[in-house]
Structures are given as C-alpha cells and as structure tokens.
Amino acid sequence: MKLSERKHYIDNLRWLILLFLIPYHTAMAWNSWGEPNYIFFESNKVISSFIVFFSPFFMPLLFVLAGVSTKYALRKRTYRQYISERAKKLLIPLLFGTVALMPVMTYIADIYNCSYKGSFPEHYGVFFTKFTDLTGADGGFSFGQFWFLLYLFVISAVCVSVMRAFGITGKQTQRSFLFPLFLLLGLPLPLLSELLSIGGKSLAEYTYLFLIGYFLLSDDEIISGTEKYFIPLLAVGASAAVLNVYLFLWSETDLPVLGTAAKYAAEWFMIAGLIGFSKKCLNFTGKVSAHMGMLSFRYYIFHFVWVVLFQYLLYRLCGNNTVILYGGTVILSLIITAVCCEIVGKIPFLRKLI
C-alpha cells in the first residue's frame, strides 16, 4: 500500500455522519429527559427517540475515525508536524467558534429561556462573565459543540506525545484471530464512561476509542473483518440501539443493567458495523464526495448557530407547531449552512480561521 493512498471510506463516512448533526441538534429542543438546550419547546418522545437511537455511537464514531486518520497522518508527518497541524486545525476554530458564534446562540437562549431584555452587545459581556453549567442554555459561557475540538486536540496531543516518548508505532498485524478478539474490546466502555467526565463527556472513554481507531481500526485485517460481517454487526448494533430507546424513553420498568448493556452494545457494534459498511460501500471518490469531505469541517463549525436562529425565528412566526419548527429548521439550516460553507471557502481569511 502506498503511503499516499487515501482511505476514501473514512472521509465519506465522516461527512455522512456529520450530515446528521442538523436533524440531531434540532431534535434536542424536544428532548424528554430535561437536558438544557438553547431553545426548548416541549417534551416529545417520538423526536427524542431519534436522539437516543443515535447518541450512543454518534460522537464516539468521530473519535474512532480521528484515531484512524491520525495513524495514516503520521505516516507522512513527524510528530512535531502533526501536533502543529492539530493546533492550527482545532484550536483556531475552537477560539473562532467560542468568540464569534457561541455568543449568538447563548443570546437567543437567554432571551427564550430566561426572558433576557438586554441588547446583543450587552449580552456579549454576560457570556464571558457568567459561568454556570457550561451548557449555554441560561446565556452563560459555553463551548457548545466546540467541546469536540477541545477534546480531540487534548486527546490527540497527549496520545501522540506518549507514543513518541515510548517509541510506540502500532505496526500492521497479519493474524486472522484478531477480529473476534477485537469485538471483546467494547466491554470496558461502561467502566470508562464516568472517568474524567465533564458534562457527561468522558475524556477516558473518548481516549480509549481514539486509540482503538489508531491501533486497530487502521489495521487491514480487522477492517476486513468489519467489512465481511458488517450486516450482522449493524443488525446487533441497531437492535441494541432500539432496545436502548425503549428502555430509556418508553418502558415503565427500571432496568439499569440491561439499559447500560444495550447502550454500550449499540455504541460498539454500530461503530464496527458502520466502518465495515463504509469500507464495503463507500470506498470511492468523485467530485461530490470530495467536495463534501472538504466542506465537512466548515459544516460542523456553522450548522448549530443556524439551527438555533431558525428555531427562534420560526417560533416567533409560526408559534409552537412541531412539524413546522422541526422540518422548517432542518431544511433551512441545511440550505443556509451549505451556502455559508461555500462563501467561507471563497474568503481566504475565514478559510484559514476554520
């Protein structure tokens, strides 16, 4: 395999997963478990089921893909070059998003949730001085969706530095028995979920998944296993995800052990199954896929501010009509986010920022 060979299935899986951000984050305005959000309309179990189905594996998959990408990136870069590149690509957009976009979202949240009466410039001062639960739902400081960039920089920088210090490279394996053993590596996930957890986001769990991507899901033998068995992997993962939805939202019986098992089975088997599916069906490139891959990071940066803006505007115009609020927000946000990403690509200064 040539070092310059690009794993197109990783790029395609990443941007396809990121497309779900708009319907996913739009749905949070109806969550049934009381999680704070920039705008909250009412509890809706049907819409909440969409969130709960995807939540076990949605962000974990992105950390796994980041680990895989790091393995291939280090074939063409020194450790120092990699860390420098990560800092530019992650910390600069983190700063831009926190300073330029989060104040807009928390301003709307403060108006909607807390009846804030001040102007946006006045609220800009509130944002940088009000520290509460870091969700931003009360108008206070928050990293919002940009927590992912912060976590990813810390995890990648620490892991790569440790690997460099101990001379760990993660060489390719050629042993067929590894794939069945690989499936057992999902067992520690429930134990890691509460370690180094900030706001329900565990640094320990995401570091583990990043390393799984780096050492194992960049391995051709294991990837071949996920490709060969992607249908049963997805079947198990989807069944576990449905069971998790039922137990978390619809069941009147409290079964915490079964619920935990369902949640993490969904996480692990959906990650393996989706990677196998992408290797089988998405390992191609073309004008559309290449362009979407290029836009995916911009899409991540800008999508949520449009979701919040359109939810607020549609609520003011149409009242509490769930079909209009959800469908209208998703459609308008997809269109304007795409336009925004294209415009940013034409402006060198903004393109460098994100």
DSSP assignment of 104-173: HHHHHHHHHHH---S-HHHHHHHHTT--SSSSSTTS----GGGHHHHHHHHHHHHHHHHHHHHT------
Quote the tokens at residue 17.
Answer: 């997963």
Note the pLDDT of residue 159: 93
Whether pTM exceeds 0.85: yes
Distance CA 266, CA 54 (A): 9
Quote the tokens at residue 234.
Answer: 């997805």
pLDDT at 170 over 90: no
Range picked from 211-220, 268-277, 284-293 for highest mean pLDDT: 268-277
Distance CA 306, CA 334 (A): 9
Specify the range with the lowest mean pLDDT, choosing from 153-167, 199-213, 251-265. 153-167
Q: Which residue has the tokens 């300073």?
A: 99
Distance CA 211, CA 219 (A): 12
Contact 205, 195 (CB under 8 A): yes
Q: At 198, give phi and psi (nearest 5°).
A: -120, 115
pLDDT band at 169 (very low <50, low <70, confident <90, very high): low
Average pLDDT over residues 265-283: 96
pLDDT band at 3 (very low <50, low <70, confident <90, very high): very low
pLDDT band at 175 (very low <50, low <70, confident <90, very high): low
pLDDT band at 174 (very low <50, low <70, confident <90, very high): low
Specify the range with the lowest mean pLDDT, choosing from 57-71, 160-174, 308-322. 160-174
350 versus 233: which is more confidently predicted? 233
Note the pLDDT of residue 245: 98
pLDDT digits (tens, 9 = 90+) for 326-340: 999 999 999 999 999
pLDDT digits (tens, 9 = 90+) for 80-105: 899 999 999 999 999 999 999 999 99
C-alpha torsion angle, residues 145, 149, 151, 156 (rounded to 10):
160
Note the pLDDT of residue 164: 83
pLDDT band at 4 (very low <50, low <70, confident <90, very high): very low
CB proximity list for 222: less than 8 A, separation 6 or greater? 173, 178, 179, 182, 216
Contact 189, 267 (CB under 8 A): yes
- Bridge partners of 202? 197
Q: Please, what is the average pLDDT of the chain?
A: 92
pLDDT band at 2 (very low <50, low <70, confident <90, very high): very low
Note the pLDDT of residue 280: 96
pLDDT band at 188 (very low <50, low <70, confident <90, very high): very high
Contact 307, 329 (CB under 8 A): yes
Helices (runs of H) and strands (runs of E) counted in the chain? 19, 2
